Structures are given as C-alpha cells and as structure tokens.
C-alpha cells in the first residue's frame, strides 16, 4: 500500500513511545490524518489516489517520496509536464529501521534517520526525458521507500503528478477509444468539422465525460495542462512560488487534501486550488482557443481564416476528477478564398465598380501602345476606398480616396498594372475608375477642396433661401436641385443619400432649379451664389449641386438641408 512521506516528514516522529503512522488507503484513517495539517507540513508528499500540481524552477531538482509497506503491491505513477520538457526518475530503496538497536521501541535520533535515507541511492525503476505524459505501471511492486526526482533544464515550469496503489479501481483518467484519432470530416474556407469516437469511460463505465477542443496555429498539445499553461489564465495552476519559501506551511487543498470545511466529504480525486504563492503579471492572450462541447462527438469550428493551417487537439475530461486524457491531435488547412475575377480596364473608358463591405476588387490595365505616363482617375461614390497600384509587381501607389482623385504615374513600355481596390469597413462601396495613357483625357470634372454648400441665414425668407458654393479655374456646368423633405428629416438620413455618383438624370424634372456655367481664373474668387425662390413658408428642403464635366460625368456636392421662415 502506498504511504505518503517526504525526507523530513518520514523522520519527524512525535515525542511518544511509538512512532506515528502515515496515511494509508484505509479511508477512515486517511480522512483523520489529512485533517491534521500539522502532520503534512512539507510539500514533498504524494497522496495515494490524488493528483497534485507543483512548480519547478529551472535547473533546480525536486524530490517526492512515498512508501509501499507490502510486497507485491500494484503501483501506477503518472507525470504530466505542462509548459516545458521534464527529466524524471523513479527509484526505490529499503525502508530504514524504525527501532533502535537495543530494541527499546524508541525512535532513532532524527539526524541518524535522515542520514540513513539520504546516503542510499536506491534502485532505479524508471526514467524519462521529454514533454509527453508518461507512466510507470507495475502490477507487483516491492515494499520500500520510493523517490520521484524531477528536473526542468529548459525553464521554470508547472507539472502534475498522480500516484496510486489501486490503479484498477481508481481509473481517474478517461480511457481512450481503440481509435483515438480526430477525424476532419468537412473543410471550408472558414470552418472545419471534427469528429471523434467516444471514450469508453463514458460509453461503458457511464462516468461523466466532457470533450474539450483546442485550436491554435502553432502546434499540437500533449496535455490539457500544457494548454492551460500556454493560456496563462487558467485557475488550475499555481503561480511560481518564491524561492526560499517553498510552501512551508502550505494550503493542503493545493496538493489534493480537502480543507477543514470539506472534511466530511468522501475522499476522491481532489481538485487543486491555484491562488497562492507569488502573483505575476498576466500575460497577453495568445492565439489559442479552448472550447468544451459537453458529450458531443462532432463539432464544427467556425470563424477561421481562409488558407490557414490550424492544429486541433481533443481532450476527454472526467468532470468528477477534473483529470483529462489527450486524443491524437490533427491539423488541417482551410480552403482558399475564391479566386477574385480580375476586371480588365480599357484605355479611356469609365468602369463602375461595386465592393462589398470590407471586400476587395482587382482590376488590370495593360496599355496596348508604349506610353510615358498613365493616369488613374477615381470617383468614390460613398465612403473612402483604398487604392493600390502595382506595375509588374512593384508597388507604385497606395492611397485612400474620397470624392474625386487623379493620380499620374510614370509609364513603362509593355508594362502591366494591377489595381487593388479595398472597400470601407462601414458598408458597401461604389466607385467609378478611369485609366488612360492620354494625359488630356479627363472625364471627371475637377472639384474644389471644399464641396460644401453654404446657406445664408440672414437672407432666408418665407419663400426663398440663398446659397453659395465653390468652383474651380476650369469652366464647368453646375446644376442645382431641390426636394421638399419632412421636418424630422435628419443628418443620418441625409448621409444615406450621399451617393455622389448618382447624376441629375436620376432626379425628377420638377426638382430642377437651374443650370449654369461658372469658373474663375482667380481661385480665391471662384465662388458663386444662387437664390432659390418659390418655396413654401416653414418647410424643409434638401439642396443638391451637381458639377458636370466635359465627358458628361457628374459629381454631386455635399447635400444641404435648409428651412424657410415660417413667419415673415
């Protein structure tokens, strides 16, 4: 039977005529002994049948002890590395004599007993180096003092240890099915469907099992402990203890012992409590996601990125013991986005482009003849769009465009231009684009920097309003339109109607006020005013000004909401 000891605890005997026994698998005695916290004042105790969580400093070995009193005792020891590989070794040595040579029954002096233990190396039973969950299992173990030595040479790390003398009846870890692989049953651009066979612990033993899926882009994980260590936010892990204060005294709940208020409960696989030791600043969240799906055996992971490789791990978790077993992880690459159709631009021809919210469109311009310069004219109808122009793979231009913009780039013989247009995050985008090698070919009218319409409040009457707007040095045709709107018409409604690409041909003839040509060589004086008459008292009107270029293409200024006086 497995008894729990450490170098000091094994030898610290009370000042009485008989030595005190260590906890046994006798349930009543076990409960009585673990309630006596003074009995376990060191951290090197491994309880029989409970998983412990602990911490290793880099290059600082740690040793645990337990005692098997009887020969031919079954024994199972499981070590779970969390966030770093471990070196660990299990060895056994004969138990020291408990009585003095004179047979008085009195315990030997403390220092003499310590020396008996520490001076003997013992027989090595098993050793391992790596980051796998590894086991030592024996159906018939000799009696003796067992030592478990652990070392991390890579970094400070967490780990877990579980030991039992009744492995057949305990079975705290969920059993894996005969085929423990995760199958990818469906693959999309943003989704992956996974399926797996149920754990016999759930299907045959009817124990409560839930399945937890872990998704990341780096690698597969060999234990749920490693996942939670990576997340650095799970409550199942202790923070690093402060050197020199290695849990003395410590809270026994961290090592599988119930607290005082739980002393009446049946002993089982007790969960660890994390909140002790030195607190460290929380780390930023990594691109790692864990989702528990209950007892399902199929699950679709969504919101993935196209053409991206993901690693998937599955863990069966016994909800009674909170102990888990890893399935064989898998990986899969999501499908690519559908190939974007590239629109061919013709020299001097306007092309209408529609882009979905957050979407993108690709256009190609391949001039037939040699050219010195190429001009790209963009008219963004709604919100700003981003344009990128590459010539034979080299980036020449990257700009955000609002309203009308023109870009002139140096040409190159037999060059091909690839244009990428990216839409707004707010909503769908519409635009017109013109590419040409003829420098004088300009279909879109030029615009001033300020395309607002100004209304003069002092000139407002019950039947008229007076407005002004800026022009340019280029002679263009301006048309003004009016539309009566409700009094509750607001800026939000006006914003939804700000499609600058809709021309006068979409308006009713009754809404037209007038058209006129206007320009000024002096840009400072390029201002025109107009009084709109025949309006109704106390009514609201939406005014629009369109400037029409030589090619017939129009651009709308920003709409203006005005209201006539109610009393004059």
pLDDT for 494 equals 66
Out of 76-80, 94-98, 486-490, 564-568, pick the least confident.
94-98
343-436 and 453-563, same CATH topology: no
Expressed in angstroms, the distance from the first to the final Cα of the chain is 106
Q: Which CATH superfamily is domain 453-563 in?
A: Immunoglobulins (2.60.40.10)
pLDDT greater than 60 at residue 101 = no
Domain ranges of the chain: 36-94+122-170, 173-235+286-337, 343-436, 453-563
CATH number for the 343-436 domain, one of 3.30.70.100, 3.50.50.60, 2.60.120.680, 3.30.365.10?
2.60.120.680
pLDDT for 119 equals 53
What is the CATH architecture of 36-94+122-170?
Sandwich (2.60)
pLDDT for 116 equals 54
pLDDT for 338 equals 72
pLDDT for 47 equals 81
pLDDT greater than 60 at residue 348 = yes
9 contacts 41 by C-beta, under 8 angstroms: yes
199 contacts 314 by C-beta, under 8 angstroms: no
pLDDT for 311 equals 95
Greatest distance between any 2 Cα atoms in the chain? 127
- Give CA–CA dist 123/200, Å, rounded: 36
Q: What is the pLDDT of residues 529-560, one digit of tens each?
A: 999 999 999 999 999 999 988 777 888 888 89
Tell me how crowded residue 517 is: count the other CB atoms within 10 A of its CB: 10
What CATH code is assigned to 173-235+286-337? 2.60.40.10
pLDDT for 117 equals 54
Q: What is the pLDDT of residues 294-315, one digit of tens each?
A: 999 999 999 999 999 999 999 9
Radius of gyration (C-alpha) of the chain in whole angstroms: 40
- Rounded to the nearest 10°, the torsion over CA 328, 321, 281, 62 is -80
Report residue 121's pLDDT band, with 50, 70 and 90 as the boundaries: low
The tokens for 131 are: 């980051």
- Give CA–CA dist 195/204, Å, rounded: 19
The tokens for 110 are: 């403390």
96 contacts 109 by C-beta, under 8 angstroms: no
pLDDT for 441 equals 64
423 contacts 356 by C-beta, under 8 angstroms: yes
pLDDT greater than 60 at residue 21 = no
Distances (CA, A) of 564 to 50, 235, 484, 533, 541: 84, 67, 11, 10, 8
pLDDT greater than 70 at residue 344 = yes
Q: How many helices (H) and strands (E) does the chain have?
A: 6, 32
What proportion of the chain, given as a percentage, has pLDDT over 70?
76
The half-sphere exposure of 448 on its side-chain side, counting CA atoms within 13 A, is 25
pLDDT for 244 equals 39
pLDDT for 316 equals 93
pLDDT for 97 equals 62
- Give CA–CA dist 510/534, Å, rounded: 12
What mean pLDDT do residues 493-500 have? 70
pLDDT for 272 equals 37
DSSP track, 284-340: PPPSEEEEE-TT-SEEEE-SPPTT-EEEEEEEEEETTTTEEEEPBPEEEEPPPPPPP
What mean pLDDT do residues 465-487 have? 91
Q: What is the pLDDT of residues 457-472, one digit of tens each?
A: 999 999 999 999 999 8
Q: Mean pLDDT over all residues of the chain?
A: 78
Residues in the chain: 568
Report residue 194's pLDDT band, with 50, 70 and 90 as the boundaries: very high
The half-sphere exposure of 233 on its side-chain side, counting CA atoms within 13 A, is 9
- Rounded to the nearest 10°, the torsion over CA 151, 153, 158, 161 is -30
Report residue 263's pLDDT band, with 50, 70 and 90 as the boundaries: very low
pLDDT for 465 equals 95
Out of 87-91, 138-142, 269-273, 445-449, pick the least confident.
269-273
What mean pLDDT do residues 171-184 have? 90
Q: What is the pLDDT of residues 196-254, one digit of tens each?
A: 999 998 877 778 899 999 999 989 999 898 888 888 644 433 444 444 333 333 333 33
The set of long-range contacts for 409-413, using a CB threshold of 8 Å and a minimum separation of 24, is: 409/373, 409/374, 409/375, 409/376, 410/372, 410/373, 411/367, 411/370, 411/371, 411/372, 411/373, 411/374, 411/437, 413/370, 413/371
More confident residue, 473 or 248: 473
pTM for the model stands at 0.49
- Give CA–CA dist 512/468, Å, rounded: 17
pLDDT for 83 equals 82
More confident residue, 450 or 99: 450
Report residue 496's pLDDT band, with 50, 70 and 90 as the boundaries: low
Out of 134-143, 220-229, 273-282, 310-319, pick the least confident.
273-282
More confident residue, 405 or 25: 405
pLDDT for 495 equals 65
């Amino acid at each position: 039977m497995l008894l729990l000891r450490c170098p000091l605890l094994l030898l610290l005997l009370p000042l009485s005529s008989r030595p005190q026994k260590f906890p046994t698998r006798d349930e009543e005695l076990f409960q009585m002994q673990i309630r006596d916290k003074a009995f376990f004042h060191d951290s090197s105790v491994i309880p029989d049948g409970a998983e412990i969580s602990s911490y290793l400093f880099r290059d600082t070995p740690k040793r645990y002890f337990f005692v098997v009193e009887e020969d031919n005792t079954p024994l199972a020891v499981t070590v779970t590395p969390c966030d770093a590989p471990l070196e660990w070794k299990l060895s056994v040595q004969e138990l020291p004599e408990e009585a003095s040579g004179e047979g008085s029954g009195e315990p030997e002096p403390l220092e003499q007993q310590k020396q008996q233990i520490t001076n003997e190396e013992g027989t090595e039973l098993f050793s391992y180096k790596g980051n796998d969950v590894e086991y030592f299992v024996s159906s018939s173990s000799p009696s003796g003092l067992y030592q478990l030595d652990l070392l991390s040479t890579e970094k400070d790390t967490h780990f877990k240890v579980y030991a039992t003398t009744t492995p057949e009846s305990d079975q705290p870890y969920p059993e894996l099915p005969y085929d423990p692989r995760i199958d990818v049953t469906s693959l999309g651009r943003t989704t992956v469907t996974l399926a797996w066979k149920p754990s016999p612990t759930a299907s045959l033993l009817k124990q409560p099992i839930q399945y937890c899926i872990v998704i990341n882009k780096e690698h597969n994980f060999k234990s749920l402990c490693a996942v939670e260590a990576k997340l650095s936010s799970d409550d199942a892990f202790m923070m690093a203890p402060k050197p020199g204060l290695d849990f003395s005294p410590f809270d026994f709940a961290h090592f599988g012992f119930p607290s005082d208020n739980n002393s009446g409960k049946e002993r089982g696989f007790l969960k660890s409590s994390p909140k002790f030791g030195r607190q460290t600043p929380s780390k930023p969240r990594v691109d790692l996601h864990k989702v528990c799906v209950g007892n399902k055996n199929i699950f679709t992971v969504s919101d993935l990125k196209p053409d991206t490789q993901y690693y998937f791990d599955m863990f069966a978790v016994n909800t009674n013991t909170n102990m888990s077993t890893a399935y064989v992880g898998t990986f899969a690459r999501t499908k690519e986005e559908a190939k974007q159709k590239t629109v061919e631009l013709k020299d001097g021809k306007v092309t209408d482009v529609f882009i979905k919210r957050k979407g993108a469109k690709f256009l190609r311009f391949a001039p037939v003849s040699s050219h010195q310069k190429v001009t790209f004219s963009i008219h963004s109808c709604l919100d700003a769009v981003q344009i990128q122009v590459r010539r034979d793979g080299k980036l020449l231009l990257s700009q955000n465009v609002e309203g009308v913009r023109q870009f002139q780039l140096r040409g190159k013989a037999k060059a091909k231009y690839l244009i990428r247009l990216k839409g707004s995050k707010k909503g769908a985008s519409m635009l017109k684009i013109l590419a040409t090698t003829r420098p004088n070919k300009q279909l879109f009218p030029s615009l001033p920097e300020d395309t607002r319409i100004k209304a003069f409040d002092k000139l407002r009457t019950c039947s008229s309003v007076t407005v002004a707007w800026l022009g340019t040095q280029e002679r263009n045709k301006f048309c003004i339109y009016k539309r009566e709107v409700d009094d509750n018409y607001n800026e939000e409604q006006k914003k939804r109607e700000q499609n600058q690409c809709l021309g006068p041909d979409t308006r009713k003839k009754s809404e037209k006020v007038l058209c006129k040509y206007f320009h000024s060589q002096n840009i400072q004086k390029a201002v025109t005013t107009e009084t709109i008459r025949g309006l109704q008292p106390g009514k609201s009107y939406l005014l629009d000004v369109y400037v029409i270029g030589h090619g017939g293409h129009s651009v709308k200024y920003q709409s203006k909401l005005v209201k006539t006086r109610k009393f004059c």
